Amino acid sequence: MSYQNQRIAEVAELLKQRLGELEQKPEILKAPELKGLFAEIPTLPEAERAGFGKEINQLRAELTHLVSEHADKAEELPPIDVTAPFDVNAAADQRPQTFTSDRGSQHPLMTELDSILDIFYRMGFNAVESRQIDDDYHMFESLNFPAGHPARDDYDTFTTTEGLIAPAHTSTMQNRVLQQYKANLEKGEDIRVVIPGRVYRNEDLDVTHEHTFYQLEGVYVGKGIHAGHLIATLKTFLEEYYQQDLKVKTQPFYFPFTEPSFEFAIERPAELRRNASHADEWLELLGCGMIHPNVLKMAGIDPNEYTGFAWGGGIDRLVLMKYAIEDIRHFESAKLDFLRQFS
C-alpha cells in the first residue's frame, strides 16, 4: 500500500521493517510512532486533518492485517512423522534396544487409587472413569448451574478453542451415571457408583492446591436415603483407608447440585501433623450433600420417589495425608527421588 503523505509513508516503511524483527507481532500496533501520528492530527490545519487521519487508519489496518496473516501462518504446524523411527520388521537384535517394563513402576497415586476402589467394591459400588474433556451441559447445566449462574466462576478451568472443557470436577459424570444405572431403581436396587478421574483448575498453587489433580466422585440413590447414610459411608471408607478410628466433621456449604451441601473434614492424626504445612488440625477432604431434586429430574429420576447423596474428594489430598507428604505438587513433578519411595 502506498501513502500520499510523506511522514506516514516513512513511518509505514519503518514499522513494516520492525514487524519482521518482532517476536510478539501484535506489539507493532502499540508502536510509539503510530501513536505519534494520531497525536499529530489536532496540530494540523483543519483542511488536512481528514486526509491525514484516513491514511493513518489505513496504515493501522495494513499492520493489523500483516499481524493476523502471521498468526494464521504460525498455526500451520509442520506434519509430525508418527511412524516408528526404525524398521519394525527387522530382526529383534537389529532393532534399537528399549527399556523393559520392569524398569518402570506405577505412579503412587494410581496404586493408592487401586486400594481406594477396592474398598468401595467391597462396599458394593461399581466404578466408572470420568472423562478428561467434556461439555458445558455436563460441566454445568445438568448440575443445576443455568447459564450465567455466579457459582460457575468457582470452577475456573481450561477450554479448547471449540468450547470443550477440561473438567474442573468429576461431578460432570453425575448425569451420565444416573442415566446409565436408573434401571437399577426399577428393579429395587440402589445406584452405587464411584467415579475416579483427573480434573483441572486454573488455581493459585500451594502445598495443598494443584492445577491438575484427581478426584473421586460418589453417587448413591435409592428409597429413603438420607444424610446419615452419606456420613456413615464416608466415615466407613476413610477409617478403612487410614486403618484407624477418625474424628470427622461436616459444616454447611453451597453447591448448586446438592441440597443441603456440606464440607467434610477429618482431624489429622497426631503423627501426621509433623510437617509445618500440616499444622492445621482439620483437613478439608470432600464436598458432599444430598443430590438436588433438579439433578435427579434431569436424569429422568423422580425425586418424590428416590433420594440420594453424592460426594467429590481429592485423591491427592487423601494420599498426602496418609504419607504425611509435605507438598501436593510432588505428585506431578516427575521427581524420581520422590516417586522411588513408593516403588
> Which one of the spans 4-12, 25-33, 59-67, 211-219 is the region binding ligand FA5 (CB under 6 A)?
211-219
Asked if 241 touches ligand FA5 (CB under 6 A), the answer is: no
Chosen residue from 130, 142, 144, 171 binding ligand FA5 by CB under 6 A: 171
Q: Return the C-alpha cell found at 317.
A: 489430598
Q: Which is nearer to ligand FA5, 55 or 197 (CB)?
A: 197
φ and ψ of 323, to 5 deg: -110, 10
Q: Return the C-alpha cell found at 257.
A: 447440585
**Beta-carbon-side half-sphere exposure of residue 339 (alpha carbons within 13 Å):** 15
Q: Which helix (H) or strand (E) holds 289?
A: strand 282-291
Q: Which is nearer to ligand FA5, 215 or 233 (CB)?
A: 215
Q: Which residues contact 96 (CB under 8 A, 6 or more apart)?
A: 86
- 201 neighbors 179 (Cβ within 8 angstroms): no
φ and ψ of 217, to 5 deg: -95, 150
- 253 neighbors 261 (Cβ within 8 angstroms): yes
Q: Give the closest residue to 242 by CA, choosing from 266, 211, 264.
A: 266
Please report how close the Cβ of residue 170 comes to ligand FA5 at its closest, in angstroms: 7
Asked if 52 touches ligand FA5 (CB under 6 A), the answer is: no
Binding mask 273-302 for ligand FA5 (x = CB under 6 A): -----------xxxxxx-------------
Asked if 63 touches ligand FA5 (CB under 6 A), the answer is: no
> Which one of the spans 84-92, 188-196, 207-215, 335-343 is the region binding ligand FA5 (CB under 6 A)?
207-215
Asked if 145 touches ligand FA5 (CB under 6 A), the answer is: no
Q: Return the C-alpha cell found at 134.
A: 467434556
| Measured distance CA(37)–CA(214) in Å, rounded | 54
Asked if 329 touches ligand FA5 (CB under 6 A), the answer is: no
Asked if 112 touches ligand FA5 (CB under 6 A), the answer is: no
Q: Which is nearer to ligand FA5, 22 or 207 (CB)?
A: 207
Residues binding ligand FA5 (CB under 6 A)? 169, 171, 201, 203, 209-210, 213, 215, 217, 255, 258, 261, 284-289, 310-314, 316-317, 328
